[in-house]
Structure 1
């Protein structure tokens, strides 16, 4: 019997506190494609909020903990349902550890960190989840971190095109930021809200039933605007879509 691909999952703060079903659905999909999934309950944050706010010492403490939590001699893959957190670990940790004794340890871990859909398509070579079913039409939002930090664009679309009953229509400016940007939404509320309005209007113009993306933070921001303005569209994380119908 072939050995299973072992995966350590990292559950981001947004998913843990607000969208836990997305984390569970990621596990459901990973196990369905033959992965052995491990979860370290000691894990916390990747440190991105502190890093982006300029609290570099605090971010370094969290990054060291992340390194300790996910370093293992068996070289397991590390998979997260968030390109934002993956981008932080894969890219920003380079600045944190550049002059650190942990640099070699980090370099070894850096190569093992993947966003959920990226892991499916680029590592496992999977572009279809058997049984995934969701009737309706969707449009896709390219989260900034997924597109610009991780280079993720085609993979999620291919996975979604193979969901039974789901049709795709591209919206205008799919690569434009939704306006969340972490603390940006708090510091520049008016600009952030206007960007969400533009994104949702572009999605509505397609006639789609769903806005789907890789990042819960973007989707939370858009869903808040949608509910407040009572717009006829829903948001869904791609892990929830791939776990639907089976």
Structure 2
């Protein structure tokens, strides 16, 4: 398969090791990938700020860049949700770009979804010793319906004790641009979410959405809580497990 890697802005700018780990994991299961260097933002922050017209050139660029790939895989559910659900809305009155957008959105996948649902892989031979809890990000769980897939992968990680927190569906409070516009509400939300993480006694907070991990990980670091926030793909890079 000709698989294109879409590496979201936050991953590329702040946690590029997640992109490297994504390519490494896919290579180890026999998938060849390539990284289109001309890729830019998918348009999600602009779109969610209400600037639809400014989103259009970004969406067109994304479609043009990835339409020749057999599949597009990203280590971020929110960006995949943007492409899959919002591109058809953006181009609803433009037949040409709507057709091209639907073709690309139909083959764009969140990474754990691609591994489990498309490739049928639930065990990649990973080892990771410790107690961990998984965070269901809003865009990953609600928008994409991805909930069981990451857990299936984590259940097969040798040495990992996978715990469940109370109210796993609760939002962490990030939600671009929500956290910027309503910082006090956002802080209250992340405080509540982290309290459920701490109640489990987990050493690691694992997630598939880097924005949520940055939000919760930053809060826990500020409070000096002994829990590390880790992207789910970093099990292959033990020296980079702290987000």
Q: What is the TM-score with the length of structure 2 in the denominator?
A: 0.96
In structure 2, distance between residues paired with 1:105 and 1:220: 33
Shift of 1:111: 1.3
In structure 1, distance between residues paired with 2:117 and 2:42: 23
In structure 2, distance between residues paired with 1:243 and 1:29: 10
Gaps of 5+ in 1: none
In structure 1, distance between residues paired with 2:137 and 2:237: 20
Structure 1 residue 221 and structure 2 residue 220: aligned? no
1:112 alignment partner in structure 2: 107
In structure 1, distance between residues paired with 2:117 and 2:193: 28
The secondary structure found in structure 1 opposite 2:3 is strand
Structure 1 residue 98 and structure 2 residue 92: aligned? yes
The secondary structure found in structure 2 opposite 1:152 is coil
Q: What is the TM-score with the length of structure 1 in the denominator?
A: 0.94
Structure 1 stretches of at least 4 aligned residues deviating more than 3 Å after TM superposition: 242-245
The secondary structure found in structure 2 opposite 1:28 is helix
Structure 1 residue 198 and structure 2 residue 192: aligned? yes
Structure 1 residue 133 and structure 2 residue 127: aligned? yes
Shift of 1:94: 1.0
Gaps of 5+ in 2: none
Deviations 1:56-101 (A, max 9, x none): 11111100010111111xx411000000000000001111111112
Preserved contact between residue 140 and residue 170 of structure 1 (Cα < 8 Å): yes
Instruction: Provide the aligned C-alpha RMSD in A.
Output: 1.1
Structure 1 residue 241 and structure 2 residue 235: aligned? yes
Structure 1 residue 20 and structure 2 residue 9: aligned? no
In structure 1, distance between residues paired with 2:176 and 2:236: 26
Structure 1 residue 50 and structure 2 residue 43: aligned? no
- The one of 203, 210, 220 equivalent to 2:204 is 210
Shift of 1:217: 0.2
* Structure 2 counterparts to residues 80-99 of structure 1, below 5 A: 80-99=74-93
1:78 alignment partner in structure 2: 72
2:58 alignment partner in structure 1: 62
In structure 2, distance between residues paired with 1:180 and 1:103: 30
